[in-house]
Structure 1
């Protein structure tokens, strides 16, 4: 098993986040850590979201997760294995 760090952006976040959540829940057993970030201020909330994932799994499962995330409109994915 490898340790993988995956970053994904969602834009617009409010429109596509529910689909992303469904994919992440499906693959939840391989995700050790998840951090969600987006810009906020007192009068607005950014439509561009960033999620960082720490994944502990083999490369095939990471590629499956990547493919399902990329099938969601507005999502971009990059990852590196350590």
Structure 2
């Protein structure tokens, strides 16, 4: 079983440092992290998406992570279990 968290961040530039601090706090339950945003030579998107593969057995920590992220204005975190 996989536990995946999708995190939408907007405005990305302003809130990313706070999101990073939270992800660092829960780093021991994050197996894989992928960050996506549109970028070009002349511009950088103001919205971003982070995909996390989490340690499935850490339900309490996963729920705490999700709550802390969703408590931030401009951040939406959702879980997918497959």
Q: How does the TM-score come out when normalised to structure 1?
A: 0.92
SS in 1 for 2:41: coil
| Equivalent in the alignment of 1:24 | 23
Superposed counterparts of 1:1-80, under 5 Å:
3-56=2-55, 57-80=57-80
Deviation at 1:43, TM superposition (A): 0.9
Deviation at 1:73, TM superposition (A): 1.4
Give the gaps of 5 or more residues in structure 2.
none
The structural deviation recorded for 1:58 is 2.3
TM-score between the two structures when normalised by the length of structure 2: 0.92
More strand by percentage:
1
1:58 & 1:44 partners in 2: Cα distance?
38
String of CA shifts for 1:19-59, please: whole Å, max 9, x gaps: 00010000000000000000012210000010000000322
Stretches of 4+ aligned residues off by more than 4 angstroms:
none
